[in-house]
Amino acid sequence: YDIFSSFLLPSFLQFMGTNAMAAGVVQMLRVGLGSLVAPAIGHIVSKGKHHELRWGSLLYVPAWAAMLLPVPLPVRLAIAIVFWTVSTRAYGIGLDSAWYRLRTPGSLAARETLLSFGRIPFLLAFVPVMYVSTLSYIYVALAYGFILAMVMWRVTTSPIPKE
């Protein structure tokens, strides 16, 4: 779902001046925090009002905005990790539950294949942005976040079939 703060995050962190160990710690913290918040998000999903999609997408923007704060990188990362993790877990779980509810195994396989192949153009487009500057990468990620929030807000105000 989120190429900026998942697939490309370790590379971005190295462009920001961190080493591979720090990038690994960031990813480890995201996995741990994601495990802690997943049950709460699952509870929200089970209510069926799609609040997880709205708030998950909206929380993505402050994550990248935190990277612009005039504080040391570890502080920016600590703030961003919380927002990245909660937002990506919330809208990831929400999208998965909405998608998997009414699908056949064939359509699920097609979805996963399309998601995998869809990442390739994003990688080709956004890895060079890191070479321009880390600031430009943050701005592109923020723009993506705003677009994601607008789309998710629109999608969640439209009725999604239950079963």
Torsion of CA 156, 85, 132, 116, to 10 degrees: -70
Q: Which of 44-48, 102-106, 131-135 has the highest mean pLDDT?
A: 131-135
How far apart, in whole angstroms, are the C-alpha atoms of residue 68 and residue 94?
28
How far apart, in whole angstroms, are the C-alpha atoms of residue 52 and residue 88?
10
pTM above 0.85, yes or no: no
**Structure token digits, residue 122:** 């994003």
For 6-61, what is each residue's pLDDT tens digit? 778 888 888 888 888 888 888 888 889 988 988 888 888 888 777 787 888 888 88
